[in-house]
A and B are shown apart, each in its own frame.
Chain A
């Protein structure tokens, strides 16, 4: 089966940098995605890593280490609007997408 672990909550200060970690176990791995979800909204796609290394998209970066079954999302220059839940999701070899339970990011002014 598949399982993903990520911290339930993280708190950071506006303007700072925060890292949200994700470890996974899967029977077949194709890639790791990250999604953002604001209260009452739908999950929105942030990034995707299929290969080891860092992917950068503006203030957000995502990292993957396939050998360690580990990835992280890095958010820089935090803004109050970044307060949301962040989910890592594994795409397996059958193209099924399984989500973690999410990390609630609290940003302090």
Chain B
């Protein structure tokens, strides 16, 4: 079945440093989504990437979807304490319908030291 690998599992950074998490799928994806989960909270949707090579920005967050639609990355510039949490990628093998074709990575836990 489809596998979605996410690295690193944990990342410690000093506040103000940059952070990047990478997501790789064993199969070509229709689209990829990113979610953030604060400690003790629930996953919250951040963004969806659909097109090959797509790049989207949300303030300090930059999301990329690879040309082959098998990998993606999330980059945070100048991390802040509010960025603490776990970032999940979720690869979708279906272009339409619901999210039953979504496979979540195990997430990258971002820990920020002030």
Q: Do A and B come from one complex?
A: no
A interface vs B, CB < 8 Å?
A: none
B interface vs A, CB < 8 Å?
A: none
